[in-house]
Amino acid sequence: MKALTIRQPYAELIACGEKRVENRTWRTAYRGPIAIHAGKHRRDLTHYLDEKGNQVEAEYGIYMSTMDFGAIVATANLVDCLPVDCIRDAIYDEQYPWLRSHPHVWGPWCWVLADVVRIEPGIPWSGAQGLWEYRAPSVVAE
């Protein structure tokens, strides 16, 4: 399965179904199942903290203490990869009526995700840059 490493809190927002678009500087022709990997770094998270230093993305009720880092946190289906300018020009309004007003559409390339399934607890895993291969551990029944 293909996988994509995404910084927190964005990986968590995808896992909880709030973020249906991942923004990248590059496009991909790949379509299909994708594992969402939460990066291990916590840098740049301080601007998401509340005055107590523990809450991230308060409007969604996401707490840093409960987020996974360095783990596969969800699977999804990558259904499209669209240029943000075309989204803003309403070219995809019929196909994706929710897309233009989605709060996480920044681009320049918007990877449209569907069928997100959270994995709890997250599966510890090392990530990588770009799209990479994730081979889920097999479960052996005894």
pLDDT in tens, 129-141: 999 999 877 655 5
Report yes or no on 56 lying in a domain. yes
Segment-wise mean pLDDT, segments of 10 residues, the chain, 142 residues: 94 94 97 96 64 57 80 98 98 97 95 97 92 78 56
Domain of residue 16 covers: 2-133
Task: Tally the domains of the chain.
Answer: 1
Cα–Cα distance measured from residue 29 to residue 124, given in angstroms and rounded to the nearest whole number: 28
Q: Report which secondary-structure segment, H or E, holds 113.
A: strand 109-124
Report yes or no on 63 lying in a domain. yes
Report yes or no on 138 lying in a domain. no
Pick the closest to residue 20 from 100, 136, 92, 85 (CA basis): 100
The conformation of residue 18, written as its DSSP 8-state character, comes to S
Report yes or no on 142 lying in a domain. no
What CATH number is given to the structural domain containing 81? 2.30.130.30
Q: Are 69 and 76 in contact (CB under 8 A)?
A: no
Q: Looking at the whole model, is its pTM more than 0.85?
A: yes
Report yes or no on 25 lying in a domain. yes
pLDDT score for 137:
72
Return the bridge partners of 35, or none: 3, 75
Q: Which amino acid is at 92?
A: Y
Cα–Cα distance measured from residue 127 to residue 43, given in angstroms and rounded to the nearest whole number: 16
pLDDT score for 67:
86
Report yes or no on 47 lying in a domain. yes
pLDDT in tens, 2-13: 999 999 989 999
Report yes or no on 121 lying in a domain. yes
Count the neighbouring beta carbons within 10 Å of the beta carbon of residue 48.
14
Report yes or no on 125 lying in a domain. yes
